[in-house]
Amino acid sequence: MEKQSAFNIHPMDQFIIDPILTGDSLEWYSFTNQALWMLISLVSISFVFIYGSRKHQLVPGRLQSIAELMYFFIRDMIIDIAGQEGLRYFPYIFTVFILILFGNVLGLLPYSFTYTSHIAVTGFLALSVFIAVTIIGFVKNGIGFLSLFWISSAPLALRPILLIIEVISYFVRPVSHSIRLAGNMMAGHAVIKVFAGFAGALGLGAIAPIFAITAVYGLEMLVVVIQAYVFTILTCVYLNDALHPGH
Amino acid sequence: MASNSDNSAVGMPQLDFSTFPNQIFWLVVFCVVLFAIVKFFIIPRMEDIFANRRKIIDGNVAKAEEIRLRVSEIEKQIEEELQKAKSQCDEIMNASGNIIKEQMALALEDSKIATTQLISEAEGRLKELRDGSEAAIEKISEELASEIISKISIGK
């Protein structure tokens, strides 16, 4: 594909799933680079939340502050959006949040693997949220959950049209929910990789792409946190719809 | 299967569906483990820290409230004492004012009596003097008349 070896830019290579223990064959149980980074994020989470706050300090230290900040940020968010009943689902939502947040942030390390850039991962998470929220909606409200689609505050003539729109938008939720996250992660990393390829090819002129990488990296720092936040807040919004379907 | 031995991606590795079972398997494994960590380690710890902090803050707030109550009580006491002192002061002032008034009235009375006495004394003395002078005039005029008579009778 490439004419010169200098322009060896493979921005998508970083997303290749590679079995790292079992040679080249990828079975469903093979331990891959993706699984490794999930494990690393699990260890990091344990480090921040369990080691960082092991002293149960009244006035938190640095690590405990970070842990508390994340914990109470999500807790307050659920209460704000879904109300006190939403707190029942806090462990699930918090698990999703830190899994995505740590995946995103660790993915910014050079040579790391961003598991949240994979549509299989985000799609699975989004589908789980979608299915869980639908089940919660029907269990909590019975058939009344369908009032989510029948907007009683709208004029009667508009309601059938709104019904169609609402039903479509409801079923599009897991798609937009997952692609938003995976797309953001993939695009940012690919852009950095492309600029890095330019830097490798330009010699002394590499100062410009390196500057660009720095800028994009700064932007990505923002994006990874915001995307984790967006995924979580949308989960809360969907949960709120399930708990209180009347608009 | 999906992995490329030359480490070069064709298209988007994200859309390589043959990797999906593997990805989802490990995601489920780590989600379950992470959920267990969250549920059994992170949440109890955070809630414990939060509850402890809440307890201490509430304790301090209660203590502050108690101190505030005591301060207001003390203020009320001070107010009461002040009121008492003021009324005492008023009483003393009234009493001493009355005494002064009484004494002044007494002194006035005394001086009145003394003046009337003096006046009557003076009047008495004046009357005496007047009486004395009348008698003297009478005596002198008698003497003068008798002398004139005798002079006239001698001249005859």
**pLDDT at position B10:** 66
Count of CB pairs separated by less than 8 Å, A with B: 142
Contact indicator for A43, B37 with CB cutoff of 8 Å: no
Contact indicator for A114, A131 with CB cutoff of 8 Å: no
Contact indicator for A229, A98 with CB cutoff of 8 Å: no
Q: Is residue A1 part of a domain?
A: no
Is B27's CB within 8 Å of A27's CB?
no
Q: Is residue B94 part of a domain?
A: yes
Q: Which domain holds residue B76?
A: 18-150
Helix A159-202 to helix A207-243 angle, to the nearest 10 degrees? 160
Helix, strand, or coil here: B129? helix
Q: Is residue A11 part of a domain?
A: no
Average pLDDT over residues A19-39: 85
Tens of pLDDT, residue by residue over A92-123, are 999 999 999 999 999 999 888 999 999 999 99
Question: For residue A17, what pLDDT band results from cuts at 50, 70 and 90?
Answer: confident
Residue A74 CA to residue A233 CA, distance in Å, equals 9
Residue A160 CA to residue A52 CA, distance in Å, equals 54
Q: Is residue A20 part of a domain?
A: no
Tens of pLDDT, residue by residue over A42-85, are 999 999 998 988 888 888 888 999 999 999 999 999 999 999 99
Chain B residues with CB within 8 Å of chain A CB: 1-5, 7-9, 11-16, 18-31, 33-35, 37-39, 41-43, 45-46, 48-50, 52-53, 56
Q: Is residue B135 part of a domain?
A: yes
- Cβ contacts (< 8 Å) between A52 and chain B: which residues? none
**Which among B2, B5, B14 has the least Cβ separation from residue A117?**
B14
Q: Is residue A174 part of a domain?
A: yes
Mutation to test the B interface, candidates A49, A66, A90, A115, most B Cβ within 10 Å: A49
Tens of pLDDT, residue by residue over B47-90, are 998 999 899 999 999 999 999 999 999 999 999 999 999 999 99
Radius of gyration of chain B (CA): 62
Tokens of B9: 């991606």
Which are the contacts of A193, defined by CB distance < 8 A and separation ≥ 6?
A9, A10, A11, A13, A14
**pLDDT at position A2:** 41
Question: For residue A197, what pLDDT band results from cuts at 50, 70 and 90?
Answer: confident
Q: Is residue A4 part of a domain?
A: no
Q: Is residue A82 part of a domain?
A: yes
Which are the contacts of B37, defined by CB distance < 8 A and separation ≥ 6?
A42, A45, A46, A49, A50
Q: Is residue B96 part of a domain?
A: yes
- Least CA distance to B50: which residue of chain A? A58
pTM for the full predicted model: 0.75
Is B13's CB within 8 Å of A17's CB?
yes
Q: Is residue B2 part of a domain?
A: no
**pLDDT at position A172:** 95
Is B45's CB within 8 Å of A49's CB?
yes
Q: Which residues of B48-78 are buried (b: 16+ CB within 10 A; e: fewer)?
A: ebeeebeeeeeeeeeeeeeeeeeeeeeeeee
Q: Does A131 touch chain B (CB under 8 A)?
A: no
Task: Say what percent of chain A tops pLDDT 90.
Answer: 57
- What ipTM was predicted for this assembly? 0.88
Locate all alpha helices (DSSP H) within chain A, ordered by sequence: 33-46, 62-82, 90-106, 119-141, 159-202, 207-243
Q: Does A152 touch chain B (CB under 8 A)?
A: no
What mean pLDDT is reported for chain A? 89
Helix (H) or strand (E) holding B120: helix B43-155
**pLDDT at position A247:** 57
Q: Is residue B155 part of a domain?
A: no
Task: Say what percent of chain B tops pLDDT 90.
Answer: 60
**pLDDT at position B38:** 93
Q: What does the DSSP 8-state code read for residue A48?
A: I
Tens of pLDDT, residue by residue over A116-168, are 999 999 999 999 999 999 999 999 998 888 888 888 888 888 889 999 999 99
Q: Is residue B31 part of a domain?
A: yes
Q: Which domain holds residue A95?
A: 32-53+60-243
Q: Is residue B8 part of a domain?
A: no
Q: Is residue A3 part of a domain?
A: no
How many structural domains is chain A composed of?
1
- Least CA distance to A46: which residue of chain B? B37
Which are the contacts of B101, defined by CB distance < 8 A and separation ≥ 6?
none
How many structural domains is chain B composed of?
1
